[in-house]
Amino acid sequence: MNRVRHVLVATLTGAVSFAGVTLLAQEAPPKAPEFKSVLAGKKFTPPIRGQASIDIVRTPTRRDGQTLVTKIQVRNTSSAPIARLQVVETWYDKSNNIIPGGKGEIPGLLQPGEVSTIEVRTPVNPNMNASKLMFTHANGTVDPKQVKSIDAAKEPATKAAKAAPAKKKK
């Protein structure tokens, strides 16, 4: 009985000393790399929340085979970027019944003063009479304003606020 106890104690002592030597022999784990912020040193304006405002110029819808193509030129007149601007075109027949339309979007951010074009493609239906556009964005609604033309060379809204001081009259 004593021999069994001595063998058991010797085995445990050997196992513990082997594990201790193994742990001491290991090197310290490598240090994790330092993470740098992607936006470090850059100016970031968060996208607008709630109602955004845009100017739109809608070109006449044209037929391309069995598809109707509507191109809409948009300019962001809000003070912040608009995230994922979308437009849904709904068509109606002569009795004002809804006919399924198409959808177009600007997938990224539309910066203040930036001009972009959205293209909506809709399958042709012989009963189509009139259409309506509905604008939305990722964080709210959109107030579209129909204009005659959009001047792409116009300065963005952020730069327009820094206008040159007026000259003094003599």
For the residues of 15-34, what is the DSSP string, one character each? HHHHHHHHHHHSPPPPPPPP
Q: What percentage of the chain's residues is helix, strand, coil (to nearest 5)? A: 15, 40, 45
- pLDDT of 26 reads 65
From its phi and psi, is residue 160 left (phi > 0), alpha (psi between -120 and 50) or beta? alpha
Computed on alpha carbons and rounded to an integer, the radius of gyration of the chain in Å comes to 33
Q: Which residues of the chain have pLDDT under 70?
A: 1-2, 4, 6-10, 12, 14-26, 152-170
pLDDT digits over 121-159, tens only?
999 988 989 999 999 999 999 999 999 988 754 454 444
Residue 80: both structure tokens together: 């912040």
pLDDT score, position 164: 46
Q: Which helix (H) or strand (E) holds 74?
A: strand 67-76
- Domains of the chain in start order, with CATH, are 52-150 (2.60.40.3230)
